Structure 1
Amino acid sequence: MIEPKHGSPVVEKTAHLLQAVADAKTGISLGELVAQLGVPRSTVYRILNSLTAHGLVARVKGGASYELGPKFVELARRISPGADRVTLIEIARPILTAAAERIYESFRLAAPEGDEMMTIFAASSPGDYALFIKVGGRSRKHVGAAGKLALAYSDYNEVEVYCAGGLEARTPYTITDPEALKEALADIRRNGIAEDNQESNLGLRAFAAPVFDSGGHLVATISVPFIGEATPDRARSIKREVVEGGAALTKAINGVHPLSK
């Protein structure tokens, strides 16, 4: 462990410990921290106790392993308004995980980033052949269900500016005509749900529903991508889960649908 020449040894040890806890996907034990950091067990124990008392680390389900604590969410929100996504992800996690377990499909939480949608969280299906969703992945808004939802709840001028930038095709099914896109956006706004019919990738389909904040602005989308055709019953099941998931997350963040304002 390298420490700066004029730094505080205790602060340096604490910083390295927090990084180790953050890097551990399923929690990390006291013994693992001692071995990884090369710091005396008593020192690691005291640091953990202090951090736990301040909510910066917490025991995983009350067990012997540690994870980052709830105080980090509160601190992250103070960095910038965009850091509210940390809270959004934490609130969405149990909602989407439960939905994925109910219908054995992977769920994607995406947020608008300029002209793109970015995946900020994914809940994997517990099935043996779960569809992998890459967190951090991006796509243009006119390509796919999530992005079309974001455009559907955007101002008219925003849509005009977006279309003026060009609608490139990802597949033969991608909507590339501005007027056709605007018609599709009007349907999405009326129905409250969007569909991707091989527009982003051949063979891939998806349904998506919106998530709104307290001002009635779309802040995220919940979607379920799947490969191949879905039976009518399966399609209804997926649509129901994305719509209910979007409504549950909107309610959990004290959001309101723009039409109810």
Structure 2
Amino acid sequence: MSGTSSRVIAILDALSTPEGGLTAQEVVERAGLPASTGYRILTELQELGLVHRGAERRLIANFSFQRRLHCPGLEPEVLAQACAKLSADMTVAAEVVVLSGHNMLWHIVEQHPEQAIRLRAFPGFMRAAYELDSISRLALAHRSVEALEKSFDTGAFYTAGVDRRSLDWAEARAMIAAVDRHDMQHDMMGNAKGIRRYCVAIHDAGGEMICLLTVAEAATPLRDEAAHVANVRAQLMARKSAIESVFSDPAQTG
């Protein structure tokens, strides 16, 4: 994909989700683009009638744009319902994330109004998979060592969290290899933004990874860490089983 196309898609992603519109600055920040590039694209979209200004000069999308996971037999609504249930039951954010090239890409984000922290991630948000937090480790564990060495810069991996440090390939490879692809992964210390994520992989009937289902919460101290982790695991594994059941029984909806 050309650089121009990827920038336009980033703007479309940023505009497609919020109700009530965003300021031009908010759109550009969500898209992760330089201000001059973002404002130019927004001006062109307005000239084409795809974006208009509403109250308080907030930008409103005059189009429908949605990324969809392509997986025969699994409707996107099943994933959305799983996120909604996790968020409602646990008062947290729930997400669907995929590995896209060298990046983690957010498809669904369900935030609870009473959760303790607001997420920077939103549908269409991307960040490098080189940060070896729980979601990157689990996603990369579904790739062979040969595939990783061929397509990734093996000297670019680093740890998550405030005390981030670079990892040589031997250490990064060992961290990825230690992952149980069928169990929940998590980082109790959280990332540099103060967010702790727990995740499970969703697999199709052939065992291929479709996406990651995550729970995101504030990385605050817990009274009973073991009990909390066990509860999150039980919730995520229940949703994982319900989603994957559609491949054996298409009538199931999770």
How does the TM-score come out when normalised to structure 1? Answer: 0.58
8 Å CA contact retained: 2:106, 2:126? yes
Mapped partners of 2:129, 2:18: distance in 1: 33
C-alpha spacing 1:236/1:169, structure 2 compared with 1 (3 Å): closer
Unaligned runs of 5+ in 2: 1-15, 21-65, 250-254
Q: What is the Cα deviation at residue 131 of structure 1?
A: 3.2
Aligned to 1:33: none
Q: Rg larger in 1 or in 2?
A: 1
What secondary structure, in the 3-state scheme, does the structure 1 residue paired with 2:163 have?
Answer: coil
What secondary structure, in the 3-state scheme, does the structure 2 residue paired with 1:247 have?
Answer: helix
Alignment of 1:146-225 (within 5 A): 146-161=135-150, 162-164=152-154, 166-168=156-158, 171-173=162-164, 176-189=167-180, 192-198=183-189, 200-225=191-216
What secondary structure, in the 3-state scheme, does the structure 2 residue paired with 1:189 have?
Answer: coil
| More contact order relative to length (CA 8 Å, sep ≥ 6) | 2
8 Å CA contact retained: 1:194, 1:207? yes
Aligned to 2:83: 96
Residue in structure 2 matching 1:229, options 218, 221, 225: 221
Mapped partners of 1:193, 1:131: distance in 2: 23
8 Å CA contact retained: 1:108, 1:222? yes
8 Å CA contact retained: 1:194, 1:209? yes
Q: What is the Cα deviation at residue 130 of structure 1?
A: 5.2
Q: Which has the higher helix share?
A: 1
8 Å CA contact retained: 1:169, 1:176? yes
Q: What is the Cα deviation at residue 205 of structure 1?
A: 1.6
RMSD (Å), alpha carbons? 3.4
Mapped partners of 2:173, 2:19: distance in 1: 42
Mapped partners of 1:195, 1:157: distance in 2: 25
Mapped partners of 1:113, 1:85: distance in 2: 18
Amino acid at match of 1:156: V
Aligned to 2:126: 138
Mapped partners of 2:139, 2:18: distance in 1: 34
Q: What is the Cα deviation at residue 119 of structure 1?
A: 0.5
Amino acid at match of 2:229: A
C-alpha spacing 1:139/1:208, structure 2 compared with 1 (3 Å): same
Q: What is the Cα deviation at residue 209 of structure 1?
A: 0.5
Mapped partners of 2:73, 2:206: distance in 1: 19
Mapped partners of 1:254, 1:165: distance in 2: 41
- For each residue in 1:128-168, what CA deviation from the matched residue of structure 2 results, as whole angstroms up to 9, or x when unmatched? 54533411111222422222111111112123232526225
Amino acid at match of 2:198: F
Mapped partners of 2:238, 2:192: distance in 1: 26
How does the TM-score come out when normalised to structure 2? Answer: 0.59
